[in-house]
Amino acid sequence: MTMPVLELRDVSRTHGHDDALVRALDHVSLAVAAGEFVAVMGPSGSGKSTLLNLAGGLDAPSSGDVVVEGNRLGGLTRSSLAQLRRRSIGYVFQNLNLIPSLTAAENVMLPRELDGVPIRRARREALAALAEVSMADLADRFPDDMSGGQQQRVAIARAVVGDRRLILADEPTGALDSNTGEGVLRLLRTRCDSGAAAVLVTHDARHAGWADRVVFLRDGATIDETPPLDVPEALLAGGRTP
């Protein structure tokens, strides 16, 4: 297969030492290709958030390598890691994704501005991203004047602006009702269909159902993984055609 967008090679993350040693992640390996939507499921404390923090370079592994688009994160400086987050990686959190004193468009253009992109071009890119998530007419509204679902969609727009290839989502629908949440997940699915890679961390099976592949974590280690899906609707033998 072509080079995976994200690769965790035998990654471990421990805190403390001796008696107080805590293994947040224990020799985890994972590869996510372009266009692939991977869900990571597990109970709280299983290391899901740690995995996501490591994938985006917010945290460094105690052993093993994290590779994003061919770049070994361990060999990068702080500012190179920051650059990676400006250009290649997008994060979406469960809530409080947006800076309250910036409008939707300004929130979305933030990574571009931090990268030195001139304001006019950054705004154009932001509006394009907002259009993708059907939030273009809310471009100049403040987060306080938006519903939770709208905020999440704007957050996703920010995660994909500038054609970023890796989306890391931490329970993005946790604070939303199921229909709105489905809209958000559908968005991620569509995005992956256009070529991005997404890692979704969740404890909700219904959300995991949207993924191409589900990885199960327990106590910091992967314990199972769903087999690959082939043609859609394989189960519905003799079923309706759309």
Partner 1 sequence: MNAPALRAALRIARRDAWRAKGRSLLVVALIGLPVFVLAGADIAYRTWQVGPAEKIERAIGAADIEVQWFGGAVVQDPKGWLGNGGIGWQGASGPRPTTAQMLAQLPAGSRAIERRTNENGTQIRTQAGLKRAKFVGMDYADPIARGLVHQVSGRAPANEHEVALTAALSASLGRHTGDQIHLVGPDRDVTVVGVVTDASHRNAQTVFALAQLVAPAGPLSPADSSGWLVDSPGPFTWQQVLHLNSVGFGAVSRTVYLHPPPKSQVPRSFGGSSPSSTAVLASGGLIAGMALLEVVLLAGPAFAVSARRQRRDLALIATVGGRPADLRNVVLANGVVLGLTAGVLSVVGGLIAASIGIPTLGRLVDAVPGQFDVRPLEMLGLAMVSLLTALAAAAFPARGAARTDVIAALAGRAGVMGTRKRVPVLGSIVAAAGALLAIGGATASSGTVPILTGIVILEVGLIICTPALLGLAARLGRHLPLAARIALRDAGRNRSSAAPAVAAVMAAVIGAVAIVIGVASSSAQQRSNYRPVLQNHDGYLTLDGTQSKRAPDIAAALRTAMPSAQVLVLRAPNQDCSANDPTCTTSQVGFELSGEAARRAFQQGRYQGGMAPQTVFDDGAAVAALFGTPVPSAVAALRAGKAVVLDSTAIHDGTVTVTATTVAATAADSGPQPSHPHTITIPAVVVGQGFAMTQLILPSSMAPRLGVTLQPAGVLVHSSRAPTDREMQVADGALNRIDDTLSLYVESGYHNANSWLLLALIAAAAVIAIAAAVIATALANLDSRTAMVTLAAVGAGPHTMRLLSMARAGVIAGIGTAIGVVAGFVPPAAWVQATRRIAGPPIPDEQTLGAQVTLVVPWLPIAAALVGIPVAAALVAGLFTRSRLPADRAAE
Partner 2 sequence: MSVRFGLLTLLEEQPMYGYQLRQEFESTTGSTWPLNVGQVYTTLTRLERDGLVEITAEGDEAQRVYSITGAGHDEVQAWFATPVRHQSPPRDELAIKLALAVRSPGVDVRAVIQAQRTATVRALQEYTRAREAAANDLSWLLVADSLIFAAEAEVRWLDHCETRLVRHPKPSTPISDPQSVPVREAAKR
**For residues 72 and 206, which CB has a smaller minimum distance to partner 2 in the complex?**
206
Provide the binding-site residues for partner 2, judged by CB under 8 A. Answer: 41, 43, 186, 189, 204-206, 208-212, 214, 216, 223-227, 229, 232-240, 242
Burial (Cβ within 10 Å: 0-12, 13-18, ≥19) of residue 64: middle
DSSP state of 234: S
Least CB distance to partner 2 at residue 166 (A)? 21
What's the rounded Cα separation, in Å, for the pair 42 and 12?
A: 17
- Measured CA distances, 173 to 44, 50, 77, 124 (Å): 16, 19, 33, 27
DSSP 3-state of 21: coil
- Interaction residues for partner 1, span 49-108 (CB under 8 A): 49, 53, 56, 58-59, 78-79, 82-87, 90-91, 93, 96-102, 106
φ/ψ (deg, to 5) at 20: -95, 20
Residue 202 near residue 40 (C-beta atoms within 8 A): yes
| Contact residue for partner 1 among 113, 204, 212, 219 (CB under 8 A) | 113
> Per-residue x/- mask for partner 1, residues 10 to 39, rule CB under 8 A?
------------------------------
Where do contacts with partner 1 occur on this chain (CB under 8 A)? 49, 53, 56, 58-59, 78-79, 82-87, 90-91, 93, 96-102, 106, 110-119, 122, 158
